[in-house]
Amino acid sequence: MLREMVRDFVSEFVEPQALEFDRDEKFNLDLLKSLGEMGLLGITASEEHGGAGLDVVATVIVHEELSASDPGFALAYLAHSMLFVNNLEFNGNDSQRARILPKVCSGEWIGAMAMSEPDVGTDVMALSTTAVQREDGSWVLNGRKMWITNGCLDDDGTPADVVWVYAKTGTDVKGKAEISTFLVENGMQGYSVGQKIMDKTGMRASNTAELVFEDCIVPADNLVGEAGDSLIHMMRNLEIERVALAAMSLGIARRSLDEMNKYATDREAFGRQIRDFGQMQRYIGESWAKYRAMRAYIYDTANNMGLGNAGQRLDSDGVKLFATTAAKEIADAAIQVMGGYGYVAEYVVERLWRDSKLLEIGGGTIESHQKNITRDLAKAPEVIND
């Protein structure tokens, strides 16, 4: 029922706007907010606070269906529903959830998560954004965050309504950086958009921005958990984030396969459908096998993953490592099958191909997944033979 509902929504509202919003690098804020009426903006949040209270499989379904039409729009949805709402649901306290979740689940507020910086990406412990506590318990944040999806909501530089921000608050007894989590809300002194990032290769239908925190005053109540708890928050949320990104890859792969398959029937060469030629059969056949492998691995991982905890890093990294690259390869094959038509925006697959590349970078690079998997297999080699 969920898949049918989202697929109908995509057909009626998402698909008609996808080409225009990609071409013009516009973010369809109203369309994203409308997902609140369907209960999807807080898909994993508790019903008590306006969420849908659904599981990881439901999360995969929504991201797959949205991405089969408009991955850029789906990325904005992921940044809101997974990077902010899911984070708050499982890491925030009762007061924070009661105050903020109803607003982000309804679409009144749009959220984002700010971790990457101009000079820091995968190396989280090297964050340079700092937070210093004042005598009254409030915090002063200083720093810049880069590549923030939903960081900017419009062309006027309006920042996200609320942002999940990671900042350095000191060092522990071993001299390692202590990273803490803050909820920064639009209107707080010192919080602004530095620049809206344009001319991206793909995901142009989502807004990407630099966020600036200049002597930004954050109330004591907006610290999430205790100082130094950020690594716990990251580990609780990274796994579902990566499975959702893999689900986006699945949507891209499915649509690309569908488009190339239809074209191979419609297009003729030398008096025959091009699907009769061995070269085309290789592209279609291998794409089908990759797509089905992606689907099986992603849904198996989702079915076995619990919300709000860690412990499935091997497979959350594994599905994203495999699916993101496979999606790019399938989109590339679709362009090759469709020739010149595949290379122009009207025929969708060139957009899917451009959008797919980010998924090998965002939410953890494929290199970081390779590193994590290799390390985890060294610690638990017995899982190979389970």
**Nearest to 3, CA basis, from 40, 28, 53:** 40
Would you put residue 226 in left (φ > 0), alpha (ψ -120 to 50) or beta?
A: beta
Distance CA(145)–CA(137), nearest Å, equals 24
239 contacts 302 by C-beta, under 8 angstroms: no
Three-point CA angle 58, 10, 22, nearest 5°: 115
* Known catalytic membership, residue 241: yes
Among candidate residues 55, 26, 145, 51, the one with its CA nearest the CA of residue 107: 51
Single out the residue of 200, 46, 18, 182 nearest to residue 115, CA to CA. 182
Active-site option among 25, 65, 241, 259:
241
> Whole-angstrom Cα distance, residue 43 to residue 185?
22
What 3-state class would DSSP assign to 202? coil
What's the Rg (C-alpha) of the chain?
Answer: 21
Closest CA to 111 of 181, 41, 174, 64: 41
Secondary structure letter of residue 305 according to DSSP: P
Which residues are catalytically annotated?
241
